[in-house]
Chains A and B, each alone.
Chain A
Amino acid sequence: MMTHSLHRSGTLESLKGDYVWFMYQAKGINDTNIKEKAEEFIAAAELVGSENWGDVKTGPIVSYPKEYIKQNIGNKSRLRGVFTSRKQVTEFLSIIKQKNLGISVVISGLLDEVLQACKEAGVTPHTINYSLGIWGKKELLPDDDILSITTMCGHHMISPNLVKKLVLDVKKGKITPEKAAWKLATFCPCGIFNQVRAEKLIEELKNKS
């Protein structure tokens, strides 16, 4: 479903550079000895170049040293992160399949791309949560450009007004698009904000009137 990575906004081209990975243990089923398994997930994600990842209980790598996050992993930790290409997703799934860790793995993104990655990695989709979009009083929403950025933190820890302020600061030359994107990423405690994509979006917004 929608959940916190499902309903990311943006153009298809932009979303082709945005995938979220999850390691997810289930309460009472496979939620013990998590630290050891989490470290395997982290190693795989790092190997294929996950640009951001984190544990919601500690924070993301854009805010904290990786070793600190690893030290704090416990059975209630939730490891998540982002990839910027389908190739990374395929490689990550291949490694995790081989490790046979017994923990649920979820990839969120464009379905055509994710399903192709599953095929390439030799894993079989079990369940899909389809996004059927936004309903209700949509006139309350910020414009699509802002939503493309704010929806990368699905818990909505990033306010539209903060994005607008940072874009303005970029236009004034007070901050670079890269630093603005990084700052926004620090507000997403899960580590699923894609600062690489955000930088590109901010660069585009800088050039808009």
Chain B
Amino acid sequence: MTIINQEKCTGCGTCIPYCPLEAIKLEGKKAVVDQDICPNCYVCVRNKVCPFNAIEKPEISNFIGQFQHIISDPVETTEQTGVPGRGTEESKTNDVTGRVKKGKVGICIDMGRPGIGCRLRDVEKVAMAVTAAGLKLEGEDTTPLAMLMEDNSKGKIKEEYLDTNVLSIIIEGKCPMETFPEIIKALKKVEKEIDTVFSLGVMVRVDENGYSPVLEHIEKLGLPKPYRGKVNVGLGRPLVDE
């Protein structure tokens, strides 16, 4: 958790614009952190934004508090996946892990992004919608979200975590190419039921020209042709060509 030492705080308000989720505000003549909103990303602490050193980070003792911090602070590493950031490798190492093979589609739903944050309740809504449509979510060894699940096969998060706010978290899974349109239809429906945003990424194996049949699906579904992407250029070894 992040708190402001009320004895040190002068109420100058310098810290307020630095918080990505506007969790710091003035109450009376002192700054306070809204604990319900603060995702413990430590932007304010790490960058020493308080000229009077009044921002403090007491030790977090409970699991969900630690999870919230690790998932919101890219400097931390998620122990289970061994990956800093939000603790997931997505396509970045697919040339050596072969996580998404030819004929399959990897889906990355980056909840709360860009910059809005999200409650795990909304994460659950989306996760349940896409699993019902045929997405198989990644497990604990590859994605941190799985640690919060009561039933990963259904996208059901444990009840006690649902009100937790995070800066962003990735729902990650795979499906056969033919199931991809169903996933998109489910997302088109559930996007109207959430109080946040998500950024959507679709990961596929491509031919030597960078082409994949998923582009035809995207066109048929009436989605704009993607113009930005992350290209894994196949230099990892040993190379997985499946």
Contacts and interface: CB of A to CB of B under 8 A. Distances in A.
A103 B22 CA distance: 39
Interface of B: 16-22, 41, 43, 46-47, 74-75, 77, 81-86, 89-97, 100, 106-108, 110, 113-116, 167-168, 170, 172, 187, 191, 194-206, 208-210, 212, 214-215, 218, 223-224, 226-239
Nearest to A58: B75
A3 B87 CA distance: 11
Nearest to A114: B231
Given A78-B84, A106-B92, A111-B227, A128 B199 contact: no
Contacts of B95: 104, 126-127
B114 A136 contact: no
A1 B194 contact: no
B210 A118 contact: yes
Given A104-B235, A140-B116, A186-B47, A131 B16 contact: no
Contact of A101 (B75, B115, B235): B235
Interface residues of A, number: 80
A151 B215 CA distance: 25
A61 to B, nearest CB: 16
Interface in A103-155: 103-112, 114-115, 118, 123-138, 140-142, 147, 150-151, 154-155
Contact of B236 (A1, A15, A30): A30
A159 B18 contact: yes
A76 interface: yes
Contact of B94 (A15, A100, A126, A157): A126
11 contacts: A1-B90, A27-B82, A76-B77, A106-B92, A106-B233, A108-B229, A129-B106, A130-B215, A131-B228, A154-B113, A159-B43
